[in-house]
Amino acid sequence: MTSRRQWILVAPAIVGLTAASFWLFPGHTWLQADTQIYVPILERLWDPSVLAADPVAQRPHVAFTIYDEVALGLRRLTGLDFRTILTAQQLVFRSLGILGVFLIATALGLGASPALLAAAAFSLGATVVGPSVLTLEYEPVPRGFAAPLVLLALGLAGRGRDLGAGVAATLAFLYHPPTAAAFWAVYFVLALWPSPPPVMARRIAGLIPLALGTILLLVLSRLQPGISEPQMLFTRLDPDLEKLQRWRASYNWITQWDPAWFRLYGLLFLLGLAAFWRLRRAGVFRTRTLLAWPVVDLEFFLVGLPLAGILCVPLSYWLLDGMKWAVIAQLQPARNLLYVMTLSSLLATAAAAKAGQARRWWESVLWLLAVYAIPTHTRLLQLDSAALATPLGRRRTLLVLGMALCAAFALRATPRPRLLKTVLTALAVGGPFLAIPSLGQVRNYPHLHHAELDELAAWARSQTPPSAVFLFPDAGRELFPGIFRAKALRTVYVDWKGGGQVNFLRGFAAEWWRRWQQTMEGGFRPNRWPEYAATGADYIVLRRPRKLPGRTPVYQNGRYLVYRLN
């Protein structure tokens, strides 16, 4: 098969995997996680008359990213809303990440079918427990744009396209510097490594985009509009702020992690090293001719990025838990564990393919068990006895085994009819997108949107002034007030999700904590009406069946009651 013919077949497959990962599994969300923060910030940057009194929108933390500049520029250019603009970018970058995995796999010597299987395994996504990050973000947020671009950079580097890799990794850096930092750390080591002059020149060329991107980012950070409070950088957390961050953002603090998580990432790292060693035994990294040096470069990244991810855990412990350095809570270096999970899965898939070529089907199954356990049943990898303790746990275990067997048979290098091979490959590539959510009953996120919330937001947006402030005293840690804020473009006095910015801004942290204690601590009680009125909020929103005796709501539907406060 010629290269051009191959790409004619591969390109639709990449698009299909993107569509399956977006609409089937792991899926996508909107205003259920960090877009509850980013969308109000973007809306206020677009129109300063909205959300003028909302602390979340008043204090943007997007100075060191092009996320806002690109979104605002595309809105001016196209006239589309932010949801359409951000979702379009999400689809493009997710497809580029899947393409990057395919390029990495082919650089490791895999054929088109095994490489598509590796890309499909990545497309299933995974939750990186502990630092609370995803290998494939459900929402169109900066990290969700940057991580796929890093994988594309790896794939291009593995083909000797260092300048292209530098462009992709620089774009990742511009969208989310912490996500791209590990790539560039490994690349700097690689650029300094003794190599033939043509190889050194190629690697140095990859640094040019980063130099230009760094200058651009510094200039844009100086021109960032709407900044009312600088981010905490070269300061230490005082005891009160540390206590608040440990309570509100415990995922940043290594001393608060479950011990099982350390076991999980240790095993995944060892899995990746074992798979890497298997590929070395298969001769993938042995050749040192000039034309084979891109694969040598890829060797650096396949070991270096997971190693960086593992080392970021003690680094985070030392700098945040120990030294209380405020910027570490913003950089969140432990989230580089996503590279441990992503690349360990990729290496294991490649090792399974090599075992299949050697007609060692049982070895192929063993590698693939880990690959499919990552998105389906991580308790198996944690060696947790609860993995088999429940009917659902046993069902998921059997599902992982079934998917591994199916993929192993698709990878077997035995003579078989072309139609049978095509059917097995299609089943192995596409089957998990349907089987994991249905047979495995894996639910990655709750469904928070409902008609009554949309009706409430529509009423507030059309029937209340832009300066109106809403209080949700019975919401607790639920996320629907943040959805309301973004859809209604009305100020929310305080909400749980908005508190995530306590990592970035000291003044915001103090204000958020004061408001939370004033109105949310202890739950809703009708006799606290004078306290609620003292906040200066205009409306109070309660969920049925709660209601205020003797007071008439100004709006109500099947789920919510709205009362005038002031």
Tell me if residue 554 falls in helix, strand or coil: coil
Q: Tell me, what's the pLDDT at 233?
A: 74
Q: Tell me, what's the pLDDT at 1?
A: 43
Q: Tell me, what's the pLDDT at 542?
A: 96
Q: Tell me, what's the pLDDT at 59?
A: 84
Tell me if residue 542 falls in helix, strand or coil: strand
- 510: Cβ contacts below 8 Å, ≥ 6 apart: none
Are 273 and 346 spatial neighbours (Cβ–Cβ below 8 Å)? no
**What is the domain partition of the chain in residue ranges?**
3-30+62-224+242-438, 451-564
Q: Tell me, what's the pLDDT at 183?
A: 97
Residue among 332, 340, 333 nearest 262 (CA): 340
344/339 Cα distance (integer angstroms) = 8
206/493 Cα distance (integer angstroms) = 47
**pTM attached to this predicted model:** 0.95
Q: Phi-psi category of 550—alpha, beta or left, where left has phi over 0 and alpha has psi -120 to 50?
A: left
Q: Tell me, what's the pLDDT at 60?
A: 85
The list of the chain residues with pLDDT below 70 reads 1-3, 226-229, 286-293, 413-417
Q: Tell me, what's the pLDDT at 414?
A: 66
Q: What is the DSSP letter of 286?
A: -
Q: Tell me, what's the pLDDT at 372?
A: 97
Question: Considering the chain, what is the average pLDDT of its residues?
Answer: 92
